[in-house]
Amino acid sequence: MVEFSKALSATPTPIPGLMVWDLPVHGDARGWFKENWQREKMTALGLPDFGPVQNNVSFNDEVGTTRGIHAEPWDKYVSVATGRIFGAWVDLREGPSFGAVFTTQIDPSRAIFVPRGVGNAYQTLEADTAYTYLVNDHWSADAEYTFLNLADETVAIEWPIPLDRVEISAKDLAHPRLADVSPMTPRKTLVLGANGQLGRALRAEYADVAHVEFASRGELDLTSDRLDSARRWRDYDTIINAAAYTAVDAAEASPGREAAWRVNVVAVAALARVAAANDLTLVHVSSDYVFDGQSDLPHPEDEPLSPLGVYGQTKAAGDTVVATVPRHFIVRTSWVIGEGKNFVATMASLAERGVDPSVVADQTGRLTFASDIARGIRHLLSSGAAPGVYNLTGSGEPLSWAEIARRVFVLTGNDPSRVHGVATQEYFATADGPVAPRPGNSVLDLAKIEASGFVPSDHLAALEDTLLARRAE
């Protein structure tokens, strides 16, 4: 019998993410009415905003009809329109809760949210039971499905009506026991720009995680009109965009200008559309060049964008596009040092070869090692940090490029006075080609990411560690 006038409420279960919902049902002599699924009220009480795309109904004539245990690669919101069921759910996801079981009865006044990878089964307790479920993906032959035998002795579900007395399909009877089930793997993470400085650091950071994939620019064309179907995007949870056009000076003239807009804006907009359409988290790496650097204070995340040159304009445009994705992280950084050609490696080489360089002395900032950015991205994704913009650089005392060059000379056993500090204008006076304007102050405020629990590395300590490792090679 349907219970009337309950308050809307949610109750967690022993299976992570599986939630039982009590629904208000209003009835009189004519019958009853309920809001079976109400997005605004339920998300406020903790229901994931799971974005259903299809509503299915399974009608069952007889008492004892039994279906399951099926785990699909999508979320389900299960309820009963008429009748009553005994429901059983088994966690078939890869991880520590694999094999966990929950059972309960569902009538029109209750519903249950079933996360992706949790096996779902039911047995009807009344004739003419209409079982309904919302799902947030369409069935596909290419998707990953996992099944468990209804009579598995390990999970030992206590069915109200013995299985040898019920209507059940031959397929359901043939499903494997728990020991033979292949657990459903987590949704995947895709790293783009996987061969760049940050991409290589992300490869190292996620080397122990099987469900992280890596793609270079040649392996996935972000400007293709087939991007929407280039992957089964519902199998993914996160895209980390480590790809960017970073030739700051070349971006000031054609063909670099077109290339910068194509990579930093057009491709990013395509990714944003895919992420929004498939409820993915999009992680995008931004730059201090979105600011003009005229302030003497560290730049906070909410400072108005004020780029000086084409590269900075494309990064600012990319940030604006990514901010429209419901689940996004814009990781703003500066002065990146990673594997391969970089400022630190260049200065160390000049020091060792006896070259006395002229280095810009009127731009101030902190080095950011690519490994720190990769570590910070993983922290934001795994810690439950709120989506949004986060500054992420090395911490510690800001210095000019010339001062950092002198540190490199000292740490490589060379005379720091060999480094000659010059103004930016003087440095580029004889440049062959266009020169992009640079922010004078590239120091970013780190309070927000530190409040999330992340501890950035001191950039000078990291510099010393990097040069010690270089000398040991």
Could you give the residue numbers annotated as active site?
70, 133
Distance CA 63, CA 73 (A): 29
Q: How far is CA 314 from CA 247, 279, 307, 311, 429, in A?
A: 12, 25, 9, 5, 25
Question: What single DSSP character describes residue 184?
Answer: B
Q: Is 295 helix (H, G, I), strand (E, B) or coil?
A: coil
Distance CA 203, CA 187 (A): 18
Torsions phi, psi for 28 (to 5 deg)? -150, -160
- The contacts of residue 353 (CB under 8 Å, 6+ apart) are none
- The contacts of residue 40 (CB under 8 Å, 6+ apart) are none
Pairing relation of β-strands 358-360 and 420-422? parallel
List the structure tokens of 125. 């307790």
Q: How many beta carbons lie within 10 A of that of residue 183, not counting itself?
A: 16
- The contacts of residue 269 (CB under 8 Å, 6+ apart) are 321
Distance CA 110, CA 102 (A): 15
Torsions phi, psi for 6 (to 5 deg)? -70, 155
Of 444, 119, 153, the residue nearest 295 (C-alpha): 444
Distance CA 119, CA 91 (A): 6
Exposed, middle or buried, 225 (CB in 10 Å: 0-12/13-18/19+)? Answer: exposed
Of 199, 207, 178, 212, the residue nearest 244 (C-alpha): 199
